[in-house]
Amino acid sequence: MTELDRERLVHVPGSKSISNRALICAALANSQSVITNPAPGDDTQAMLDGLRKLGVSILRDGDSVRINGGLDLESTTVVELQTRLAGTTSRFLTALASLRHGATTIDGDAPLRTRPMGGLHAALRMLGATVVSSGAEGFLPVTVNRGSSWQNQIVIDSTTSSQFTSALMMIAPYMPKGLEIELRGKVVSRGYLDMTVAVMREFGARTEISDNVIWVAPGVYHGKNFSVEPDASSASYPSAAVAIAGGSSIIAGLTRNSSQRDVEFLDVLSKMGCQVRQVERGIQISRDASVALQGVDVDMSDISDCVPTLTVVAMFANSPTKISGVGFIRAKESNRIGDLAGELRKLGAQISENDDGLTISPAPLHAAMLVTHHDHRLAMAFALIGLKVPDIVIGTPEVVSKSWPSYFEDFDKFTIN
């Protein structure tokens, strides 16, 4: 390994998506689990806090979490959960709460109360759970508890959020007859459903996904030692830094056969002119700064969390980039089409909004103050602009605590010249 490779060995946090799935399975499991390399951010902490309030014994010790499992689903205790800004956590805990005899109220901070939950709430009602909204229908806060019986088949709209489907999948082993889910419409973020299947199987569930039908057998999860992969979404930022500024980095521990579809972001950068290869320590990405970046035309429906990252990279390409297939990301932590485009236009960027994405064309850029709209992915992507444009100011940069609390400290390490 060269000196440059040693300097640019980048460690990203554990996967937030995998961590939250593993924590749900471990909480329900019939024996103890130890989860290593869990994600460090606020969303994961909100999940841990929620599970503790539900009565799960959890010990976090450095880079591991010990979970005793055996969540008492017969408890009649009334519980209130505060999930802060964590959309995935709130949805997964809502589904989990529908297995409990006692009532559970799930709420969050004001921005989370604006995010759509109606598809999940309606699905839980159809399956037999009691779901009562305290405010606007289809939004938080909501109170949930187990009904008198469970249905074992459901058709769900899969065009809004894969998190609704994943939430149902993870509780399905604890339904008397399991569950068959038919996905109606274009499935967004299908890779996350594959990830859910993979994590559930690790904990002993029997589940299959074929075309637009998911089947989960009744059963129980078994405790296990589970190691969380490096976060492929987080890996997009140091990878994008290489694409923008040139050089070479290795994303430590990440592999091309990751269960996370966001690893495919590296293929997009390859099409733009970067070199990507698997090496012993991880995935290496390199670019000769003297060779111009090329624009691309790409459907990002399966890697939508990387849209802000690619949009920023595309501003430094020598030809237009068109991103499609991601109209649904308007309902993420921010409007990741409208808010993203609006902020980047402050720099002079030439960006047009489409029904299902964005088109970015080359344009001269200048300094500006950018607002994050409570969105960690906007904040982390905006930081990359400063590699080429001086005097970029990011408002409320602390939102990165959602998934990568030390991002700005680590940023200096993975952007060394």
- The residues annotated with a catalytic role in the active site are 305
**Contact status, residue 124 vs residue 117, Cβ threshold 8 Å:** no
Rounded Cα–Cα distance for residues 40 and 404 (Å): 7
DSSP annotation string for 83-143: -TT-HHHHHHHHHHHTT-SS-EEEE--TTGGGS--HHHHHHHHHHT-EEEESSSTTSS-EE
Structure tokens at 346: 């402050």
Rounded Cα–Cα distance for residues 300 and 314 (Å): 14
Rounded Cα–Cα distance for residues 24 and 20 (Å): 6
Q: Where are the beta strands (DSSP E) in 200-331?
A: 207-210, 213-216, 225-227, 247-252, 275-279, 282-287, 297-299, 321-324
Rounded Cα–Cα distance for residues 140 and 105 (Å): 9
Residue 179 — φ and ψ, nearest 5°?
-155, 140
The pairs formed by 345-351 with CB atoms below 8 angstroms and a separation of 24 or more are 346/370, 347/315, 347/385, 347/389, 347/392, 349/315, 351/311
SS percent in the chain: helix, strand, coil, step 5: 35, 25, 40
**Alpha helices (H) in 246-336, listed in sequence order:** 265-272, 307-314
Rounded Cα–Cα distance for residues 404 and 236 (Å): 13
Interior CA angle at 119 toward 402 and 168, to 5°? Answer: 75
Q: From 225, 228, 206, select the one nearest 216 (Cα to Cα).
A: 206
Q: From 323, 318, 313, select the one nearest 355 (Cα to Cα).
A: 323
